[in-house]
Structure 1
Amino acid sequence: MDWLHTWAGLLFGWLLFAIFFTGTLTVFDQEITYWMQPELHQVTPAPLNVEAAVHTLEQLAPQAERWWIELPSERTPVSTIRWSQDGASVSRVINAQTGQPLPLRDTYGGEFFYRFHYQLLLDQAGIWIVGAAAMAMLVALVTGIVIHHRIFKDFFTFRPKASSHRAWLDAHNVTGVLVFPFHLMITFTGLVIFWSIYMPAGIQVQYDGNMDDFWAEAESFIEPERANQKAPLVSLMDLERQARPYWKGGQTQSIVVSHPGDRHALVHIYRRSNDRLSLYNDRVSFDGVSGEIQTVWINSKPAYMAQSVLSGLHFVQFGGATMRWLYFGMGLASSAMIATGLVLWVVKRQGRHTATDGVGYRLVEGFNVAAVAGLLVATAAYFWANRLLPAELPGRELRELQVLFTTWGLCLGHALLKKFFAHCPSLRIWRTQLAMAAMLFGLLPIVNAITTESNLLQSLSQGEWEVAGLDLSFLVSGLGLAWTARRLDQSARASSRHWNSHPVASGG
């Protein structure tokens, strides 16, 4: 069990930290996207004018196979329209009142953290890699409980000023025990979401591997082919009003039109899933020409409901801002547990390796710094790039990602160079990169104030909590990382005095 815990945690730990950290940020993905598109900060929230949105779609995509209209919400004060045509999908953010597209800078915003969290930007291959990491996480959690037989006693005897090994072990145990149910739940439900990919045997047998047929039957989502005969579309606003009573006090999330302008047009009205555990949206489907109800699909099938509730626990669309902040804090605790576990592996083996041997040991030290502190630096650089790159720059969303991954790569190169050529103690490398992250995060509110028309004081006074919340979070992160870097600097000095006074222990 000790062997399993050690190596499952180490070999997947670097990836797991990235998955959990970006997953934690995903809790506020919509708020992050809003902050990263400052052009939205001056838009006044308003109910959606559905007919205006339809008029815009008719102008931009009259031959599209499908239209999507996302309604504004308390987290997103604007509407988004999308359409698919010839296998491609295009989206525009529109003014909810006029339906006109808004001139926004291109950015992946919080969507990047969401995509990276579950598929590493590698599509299905990434989903399999993340699934393997999730299984390793479950192994590490179960074996951790077994091998730390004094874990609950140690939880109440936290000793941050004890020896480095004891202090790191206590920190690892505290972050592990404090939210252990959350660790298990979030890891298991992450696997359940992609059950059809990880365990597809039943679908292969019953549907000859045709996933579209399976989901169509599971969700009662069967629609006819295009008739290729023109017909006017019924009022979508009237259909949305007819669907609303089925939500039992809930809200409408989106309107989807299949085959718009065709005699076989279908209109699907979806319920928002922010008022219950079940993730997947209830739906009312109408004939797009006559307006007659075709299907009322309420998520009530037992097996489907079970999977939907487990997925809802993972995506935390319920509970409002309070629940999102709770998940955010527990996600940070999960990230800290993984990070302290990686550091603990190094600390337990400290003193066994000299400057001329232990290549693997030094590699682990370097990767530890880059995986944790380097990712923090890269994330801050991503936000800086959003503010400093010209708003009209072609492909600027890709440029932002290039800045992030280039910065992350530079942090890895810095850590390895310091370990292999400068023989620098790990604590000093940690201190340097954490200090860099502290500076970048701490200055972000100032950069935002300089480069946009909104600043922290203004957003606080006007109650713009989406902008103020991000700025305050950046400021708190900067202060917290600066404090951590200072503590590591003190530890590095104390460690240096210790090894200098015991040359034999250090291999001298």
Structure 2
Amino acid sequence: MTDTSSSNNAPRKKNWLSPDFVRAMLAGHSALGLAFAALIYIVCLSGTLAVFVLEFKRWEQPNAPLVATEPAPAALEAAMRAAYGRAKMGSKVPDLFLAWDGSRTLHFDVSFHDHESSAQGEWLANEQGRIVDKAHAPWSEFLAKLHIHLHLPQTYGLFIVGLTGVALLSSLISGVLSHPRIFRDAFSFRLGGSRRLQDADLHNRLGVWGLPFHIAVSLTGALLGLSVLVIGVLALAAYEGDSEKAFAVLIGPQAGKDHKLAPLPDLDAMISHVRKEHPEAEFRSVHVEHAGTAGQMTHLSMQTPGHLSSANPYYFDGSGDLVGDGGLERGSVGQQILGALHPIHFGWFGGTLVKIAYGLLGLALTIVTHTGVTIWLHRKREKGNPEPFWERIWAALAWSQPFALAATALVVLAVASNLALTTYLVCFGLALVIGYFAPGESACARILRLLTGLTLCAVAAAHIATFRSEGMADPVSWIIDGLLAGCGLILMAGVLIPLAKKQLPGRMLRKPTFPSL
């Protein structure tokens, strides 16, 4: 006879996390998410669009010259001399900057900046290095600044965005720990039930499917945003509070104070010097500090295939001698991580397909943020303690961003580029006013979706009308116009079609009957 007493009395398998721990994590997850929800949502949505900021720059200048192959040394020399000639008209000691990266954009950027006088200029050059047009992409620059420092004073804005990245990372970790079955239920989705359950499933599924991406962008965003704090700690710990030495470790040697006139750097010789050791290295950018002086310092950035870093800087002094490199490709682990932060955060390391994947995953993270708040609001409603005011305000805030960004693009195109921030703030405020007076959350969302759809279509129409006479040579501009119009029509259809169905007489919605033959 078989003894079954041991099997009948076997203890049940317990979850790997205790119930008390799960409840504590869930409480922390909810509190942290609600506290930073608005900031996380704005940063995530603007970051999703910022992945394509270089494409938006091409869209804003659809007739600018495109340089499909790496500029020859002669073209780099010509562009540098042309920029130097223009810079000297309003600057005594300018810094010059040339950039081209065919894997990210086909624009050959040429610019200068003077830290003392604040004089600056930026142009686009052709493949011969001849300056053809002034760079003008105000909406793209507005979008980038919104994501990087929220248009606040840069130091404070970077710090706030960095804290937002920390909050997002903490929310992701606490979210996983507060749902022990989250991976086991990764493909379950409950349709037809309550809205809270549907939002919860969408929240959890998108959170799990994109978890590696979500952690990567939140961690790199936190590090980039808190870079000033990191440098301050480094200065205190290793350089007795000397922040200049700490900066020098991260950004390389700086130009000297000898402002006697000297020839511009020989870029051809410098590129050849780098390629003796790294023959496959490709030009990405060059930054000449205090150009045309004896103390000038040249940061030549070259990228060797097979490395995640966008480029590795090589430092040449005023005599043209190599004095070191940034080590972002072959340096220490810390240096290589530093070089990978920007490419990993923005998805600028694998071409168009990686950018599209980043865009979709960024949109998923934005939805995760949005549904996190709606789940909390629906739960309160189900418990008999609804918050109709905050339901309307959250719907208004969520749809205020695409509406405000679209309206900003329209004003920049049709009115004036210096009204971008004003337009954004006015539309943001208008959306909140609509949320305050709307009869309900759904009505608020419908109004703002309709406004967003109309504005997106207007942006595409205004862009085509503005540049059609000149001929839009860049195919990227047509693609973006098509996407803008398509998204606008989908948003409007999602509002108008259900409303039209409600207005139809009931007899038209009944199944027709036919007499028997």
| 1:323 pairs with 2:366 | no
Pick closer, same or farther for the CA change 1:163–1:351 going to 2, 3 Å: closer
**For residues 264 and 249 of structure 1, do their structure 2 counterparts lie closer, same or farther at Cα, with a shift above 3 Å needed?**
same
The correspondence for 1:453, drawn from 444, 468, 477, is 468
- CA contact under 8 A between 2:388 and 2:440: conserved in structure 1? no
Q: Contact conserved, 1:374 with 1:412, CA < 8 A, in 2? A: yes
Residue 71 (1) aligns with residue 100 (2): yes
Does residue 1:466 correspond to 2:476, yes or no?
yes
Kept in 2: contact 1:193–1:307 (CA 8 A): no
**C-alpha separation in 2, matches of 1:263 and 1:142:** 52
2:36 aligns to what? 12
C-alpha displacement of 1:240: 3.1
- Paired with 1:184 and 1:249, the residues of 2 have a C-alpha distance of 33
User: Paired residue for 1:497?
Assistant: none
* Structure 1 CA distance for aligned equivalents of residues 247 and 392 of structure 2: 45
Fraction of identical pairs, as percent: 22
Match of 2:515 in 1: none
Match of 1:398 in 2: 418
Aligned to 2:381, the other structure's residue is in SS state coil
Q: Is the 8 A contact 2:41 2:369 kept in 1?
A: yes
Q: C-alpha distance in 2, partners of 1:201/1:435?
A: 48
How far apart in 2 are the matches of 1:214 and 1:101?
A: 39
Q: Which amino acid aligns with 1:184?
A: I
In the alignment, is residue 115 of structure 1 matched against residue 145 of structure 2?
yes
Q: Secondary structure at the match of 1:148?
A: coil
SS for the counterpart of 1:221 is coil
1:106-137 alpha-carbon deviations (Å, 9 max, x no partner):
44332322222232122121222223322322
Q: Please tell me whether the aligned partners of residues 370 and 411 of structure 1 are also in contact (alpha carbons under 8 angstroms).
A: yes
Q: What is the match of residue 434 of structure 1?
A: 449
- Given candidates 262, 274, 278, the residue that maps to 1:243 is 274
Q: Which residue of the partner structure matches residue 293 of structure 1?
A: 322
Q: C-alpha distance in 2, partners of 1:491/1:249?
A: 62
Q: Distance in 1 between matches of 2:444 and 2:46?
A: 23
Any stretches of 5+ residues in structure 1 without a counterpart?
390-395, 419-423, 494-508
C-alpha distance in 2, partners of 1:486/1:171? 25
What SS is found at the alignment partner of 1:386?
helix
Cα distance change, pair 223–128 in 1 and its aligned pair in 2 (3 A): closer
Would the aligned equivalents of 2:327 and 2:335 in 1 still touch at CA under 8 Å?
no
Question: 1:4 and 1:437, CA in 2 relative to 1: closer, same or farther beyond 3 A?
Answer: same
Distance 1:147 1:27 in 2: 31
CA deviation digits over 1:248-299, x for unaligned, max 9? 42321222223322233333311248863125x32233344x4333334433
Contact 1:186–1:314 (Cα < 8 Å) also in 2: yes
Structure 2 residue matching 1:229: 3-state secondary structure: coil
Correspondences of 1:27-38 after superposition (within 5 Å): 27-38=51-62
**1:375-394 equivalent positions in 2, closer than 5 A:** 375-389=401-415
**What TM-score do you get using the length of structure 1 for normalisation?**
0.82
What is the TM-score of this pair, normalised by structure 2? 0.81
Q: Quickly say closer, same or farther: Cα 1:261–1:141, change in 2 above 3 A.
A: closer
Question: 1:247/1:399 Cα in 2 relative to 1: closer, same or farther (>3 Å)?
Answer: farther
Cα 1:177–1:240, aligned 2, differ >3 Å: closer, same or farther? same
CA–CA distance in structure 1, aligned partners of residues 373 and 413 of structure 2 = 33
Structure 1 residue 220: deviation in Å?
4.7
Conserved? CA contact 1:36–1:386, under 8 Å? no
| Whole-Å separation in 2 of the counterparts to 1:195 and 1:379 | 26
What's 2:240 paired with? 208
Quick one: which of 368, 380, 402 aligns to 2:394?
368
Structure showing greater Rg: 2
Q: Which amino acid aligns with 1:472?
A: G
Sort the Cα spacing of 1:165 and 1:259 in 2 relative to 1 into closer, same or farther, 3 A. closer
1:266–1:287 Cα contact (<8 Å) kept: yes
CA 1:240–1:491 in structure 2 vs 1: closer, same or farther (change >3 Å)?
farther
Cα distance, 1:293–1:469 mapped onto 2, change above 3 Å: same
Cα distance, 1:165 vs. partner? 1.7
Find the aligned partners of 2:239 and 2:170 in 1 and give their Cα distance.
Answer: 33
**Structure 2 vs 1, CA of residues 244 and 10 (structure 1 numbering), >3 Å: closer, same or farther?**
same
Partner of 2:313: 283
Note if contact 1:232-1:262 (Cα within 8 Å) is conserved in structure 2.
yes
Q: Which residue in the other structure is 1:50 paired with? A: 76
Tell me: CA distance 1:152–1:264, structure 2 relative to 1, closer, same or farther (3 Å).
closer
C-alpha displacement of 1:43: 5.8
Q: Residues 28 and 110 of structure 1 are in contact (CA less than 8 Å); yes or no, is this contact kept in structure 2?
A: no
Residue aligning to 1:166: 197
Give the conservation status (yes or no) of the 8 Å contact 2:45–2:362. Answer: yes
Residues 220, 58 of structure 1: alpha-carbon distance in 2 compared, 3 angstrom cutoff: closer
Contact 1:53 1:81 in 2 (8 A): no
CA distance in 1, matches of 2:278, 2:349: 15
Select between 200-209 and 24-33 the one with higher mean Cα deviation.
200-209
Deviation at 1:352, TM superposition (A): 6.1
Which residue identity does 1:50 align to in structure 2?
L
**Amino acid aligned to 2:151:** L
The number of residues matched between the two structures is 467
Tell me the equivalent position of 1:412: 432
Q: Is 1:83 equivalent to 2:83 in the alignment?
A: no
Q: 2:337 aligns with which of 264, 286, 306?
A: 306
Aligned residue type for 1:468 = W
CA contact (8 A) 1:428 1:492 kept: no
- The CA distance in 1 between the partners of 2:401 and 2:98, in whole Å, is 35
Structure 2 Cα separation of the partners of residues 174 and 427 of structure 1: 24
Q: Alpha carbons of 1:234 and 1:186: their partners in 2 closer, same or farther (altered >3 Å)?
A: closer
After superposition, residues 343-354 of structure 1 pair within 5 angstroms as: 343-350=374-381
Alpha-carbon contact 2:452-2:491 (below 8 Å) kept: yes
Unaligned runs of at least 5 residues, structure 2: 1-24, 504-517
Give how far 1:329 is off.
0.8
Alignment partners' CA distance in 2, 1:11 and 1:387: 36
Tell me the equivalent position of 1:504: none
Show the counterpart of 1:421: none
In structure 2, relative to structure 1, the CA distance for the partners of 1:328 and 1:51 (3 Å cut) is: same
With over 3 angstroms needed to count, the CA separation of the structure-2 counterparts of 1:234 and 1:113, relative to structure 1, is closer
* 1:160 to 1:60, Cα distance in 2 relative to 1, 3 A: same
**What does residue 510 of structure 2 align with?**
none
Residue 239 of structure 2 aligns to which amino acid in structure 1? Answer: Y
d(CA) in 2 for partners of 1:91, 1:274? 32
Letter aligned with residue 331 of structure 1: G
d(CA) in 2 for partners of 1:322, 1:436: 31
Contact 1:224 1:264 in 2 (8 A): yes
* Equivalent pair of 1:4/1:139 in contact (CA under 8 Å): no
| 1:437 partner amino acid | T
